[in-house]
Every structure is written in C-alpha cells, then in structure tokens.
Amino acid sequence: MATGQRFGFIDLETGVVPRHVWVLLYAAFATIGLATFDAFATPYVLSTALGIPITEQGAMIGRLNVYTEIVLMLIFTPLGVLSDRIGRRAVYAFGFACLALSYALFPYATSETELALIRVIYSVGLGGVTGMIATLLGDYAVAPDRGKLTALVGILNGLGVVTGAVFLARLPRVFADMGYNEFQAGQYTLWIVAGLCLLSALVVAAGLRKGLAATVTERQSFGELFRSGFLLARTNPRIAVAFASAFVARGDLVVVGTFLVLWGKVAAVNSGMDTAAALEAGRVPFIVAQSAGLAFAIFAIFLLDRFHRVTGLAICMGLAAGGYLLLIFVENPLDRANIPFFLLLGVGQISALLGSTQLIGKEAPAAQRGSVIGAFSVAGALGILITSGVGGSLFDSIDPRAPFVLLGLMNLVVLVAAVLVRIYAPGPPMAREFQSKAAPAAAA
C-alpha cells in the first residue's frame, strides 16, 4: 500500500491516495448543496401539498427546524460512533440514501405530522453526511495540513450551496414553463434532487477509502466510543474549546442565513417595496457576505496551517467577533456604503467555521474521531437551537442588529477561552506537528 502520498500541496495520511481526496471534494460539493435544498423544498410542500397560508408558514417552518435540530442532537454521536466501528463511507452513503428517501417523500405529505416524520428521515441523513465531512478531514490529511484541506472543503461547500441555489432552485420554473402544474413542477424537481442524492451515495460508497481509521487493537467498544466524545472534552481543554467554538460557529450560520436576509427584507419593505421586490433586495447583503466568505476560504488554505492550531482558532474567532460587532454601525443594510461591513461579516462567519473544524480535526484521536466529531456536532446543533430562539426574540423586541451583536459577544468569549487554552494547555508545539508528517499514521 502506498504511503506518504500528496494531493497537490497536501500531505496525506498512510493509506490515503489522491483518488480518495477527489471523492471527498465531490462529496463536499454535493453534501451541502443537496442538504440545504430543504430550504426550498419545505416552503413548496407547505404551499402546494398542505395548502398552508403564507402568513402561517414561518411558524411552521420554525417548528420543523426545532424538530430537525433535536433529532440531530440525538443522532450525531451514535452515527459518529458507528463510523468508528464500521467505517466512514458506509455512514456517508447511508446519509445520502436517507436524504434521497426524504426528498422523494416530501411531495406526498398530507399533514404537519407526516411532514415532521419525513423530516426525521431527512435529519438522520443530514447528520450522516455533515458529520462525515469533518471526520474525513482528520482521516485524510496529516495534522499539519488539515487546515489546508479544511479550507479546500469549505470552498467546495460554498460552491455547492451556490450551485444548488442557482440551478436546482430554478427547476420548478423550468417544469412550469414546460406546461406542468405547480405541484408536478415541484414534485419532479424533488425527484431529481433525490436522484442526485442516490448518485452521491454510490460515489462515496465506491470511492472513499475502505476500512477504519484505527487498527483492530486500537478499537474500543461501542459504549466506550459513545462516552469518549464527551469525556475527552473534560481531559483535553483544546477539544473543550473546539466544542465551544462549534456552538458559536453553527449559531453564526443561522444568524447570517436567517436574520441577515430578514433584516434586508424588513428594510426594503419599510422603504416602500412590495413583498417580492423586498425579498429580492433583502438577499443582497447575504450574497455579499457569502461571496466574501467563499473568497476568504481560498486565502485560508494558506493561512490556517501557518499557526499553532489553537492560535488559528483564536484568530478566526477574533475575525468573527469583529465582523459581527461592527454591524452595530449599520443603520440601513441596503445602503451600498455598508457593503464593506457585510464583506467583513462573511469573512468572520467562514473563519469561525473553518477555525473550529480544523482544531477538532487535529485534536480528535484517530480511533475515536467519529465519536468526538459527533459530540462536536451536537454542540453545534445546540448552538443553532439556542441562537435561533434568542436571536429571533432580540430581532423583534430590540433591534435587527441585536442577534449579530449577541453572536459577536459569544465569539469574543470563545476568543478569550482560546487564548487561555493557548497559554496554559497548548498541546504539541508546531515543530512536533510538522515532524509528524514523516511519522507513520494509523493503519487503514
């Protein structure tokens, strides 16, 4: 078996070949693009299948999102443990298969209860595919180069989201122009998305590395693995601060994805635009932020591994805190003079996500990586739950900028924690990390 191979500027772990990385990059592109299509699918089902009035859809979508995050918190760790026992690619393929089934079933929901049950299947699939991305980052690149692979995967994630929004979301219009009614147009679109999920399941099942990240003698029992993800946070301060950063970073995604668009829409309505025009105008700050984040991810390829792993997280959380807190100076999000603030916001958002992912990827032990990252994902899901509820209340009762200020302060807290960990529990020095490139990795 070949060892010490490279993928461009990235040194790979023992047993990993460039073909495995190409499949991982495809999976990164497909995972987020297909998983986030739920944002388009759910409103379609509410309108065409359930006949829910538009004025009632927000509350129902909120309830469905809560169900999703609760399921995710329950299944992230078991799926991570399972990946440590049977391998990553089986769990990844299973996740895509669950997404395919849920999308295929969406058009047939006849009540909120049925839609919630379908969302359970969707949530299991979402947990499988998103949990495996972070896990495979740790499996495939040697520790000093995991930041580079993390940033590269982040770029593919962003491209997948943009591609899904630009092309897949247009399919209902394409089918409608062909003469199909609204229900059929959405149904055929969801079937296509389900087919792409099945295709992706086959690709990862055939193309990801076979076997486990740990040797037989290193493997632990299911119960030991289940407990290890949380127990390691008590004994390893770097894993603990990574969990804290996941809580905040996932909350960042919700605030930008939900409240930034809503802030823009409210400002547009207040300026006299009708609903359709306001929604279109309200997307501009979000598009600016996402574009800046995607561009910064390219730069981050060459940045993350230049610093100690905890120092890198501290820098990322500092950028995130600045990006959020500076929005206090924005009065009108639609004023073009405020574009620089949204550029910084996008940089901060992607920084928090990349910083937390690269730290957990370097700290999670190979034999327990799936379990640890499962617990890491639970922290992120909890962050989404709390941030969604608190942020929404602040948005309505205080000011549209309040959720962003809250997240800025939370990022500052994690920044301080990262600095303290860097001082008192820094872990392996950079020199030892770079020496590890030459050391043999765990067998596949």
CA–CA separation, 282 and 288 (whole Å): 11
109: Cβ contacts below 8 Å, ≥ 6 apart: 45, 49, 50, 115, 118
Total length of the chain: 444
The angle at the Cα of 369, spanning 368 to 370, to the nearest 5 degrees, equals: 95
Beta bridge partners of 7: 10
Domain 1-213 has CATH 3.40.720.10: no
| Residue 217: Cβ within 10 Å count | 6
Smallest Cα–Cα separation from 248: which of 329, 121, 355?
Answer: 355
Phi, psi of 10 (to 5 degrees): -115, 125
What is the distance between the alpha carbons of residues 126 and 266, in angstroms, rounded to a whole number?
31
pLDDT at 151: 82
Q: How much is the pLDDT for 1?
A: 36
1-213 and 221-426 share one fold = yes
Q: How far apart are CA 20 and CA 298, in angstroms?
A: 21
Identify which of 215, 441, 245, 240 has the alpha carbon closest to the alpha carbon of residue 353: 245
Assign domain 221-426 to its CATH architecture.
Up-down Bundle (1.20)
Domain boundaries, the chain: 1-213, 221-426
User: Helix 309-325 crosses helix 402-424 at what angle (to 10 degrees)?
Assistant: 160
pLDDT of the chain along its 444 residues, tens only? 344 688 888 888 888 999 999 999 999 999 988 987 887 777 778 777 788 775 666 667 767 877 887 888 888 888 888 888 888 899 999 999 999 999 999 988 888 889 889 989 999 999 899 888 878 988 888 878 887 888 888 888 878 877 876 788 778 878 888 988 878 888 899 999 999 999 999 999 999 998 766 544 445 555 555 566 677 878 899 999 999 999 998 777 667 766 787 788 778 878 887 655 665 676 778 788 878 888 888 887 777 778 888 998 999 999 999 999 999 999 899 888 999 999 999 999 889 988 898 888 788 887 777 778 888 888 888 888 788 778 777 877 888 898 899 999 999 999 999 999 999 988 766 444 444 444 433 332
pLDDT at 444: 29
**Nearest to residue 376, comparing CAs of 161, 132, 98?**
132
pLDDT attached to residue 217: 40
Q: How far apart are CA 83 and CA 174, in angstroms?
A: 39
Q: In 36-53, which residue ranges form alpha helices assigned H by DSSP?
A: 38-44
Q: Which residues pair with 11 in a beta bridge?
A: 6
Q: What is the 3-state secondary structure (H, E, C) of 162-189?
A: HHHHHCHHHHHHHHHHCCCCHHHHHHHH
> How much is the pLDDT for 4?
64
**String of DSSP letters for 51-106:** ---HHHHHHHHHHHHHHHHHHHHHHHHHHHHHHHHH-HHHHHHHHHHHHHHHHHHG
Tokens 């770029």 correspond to what residue?
155
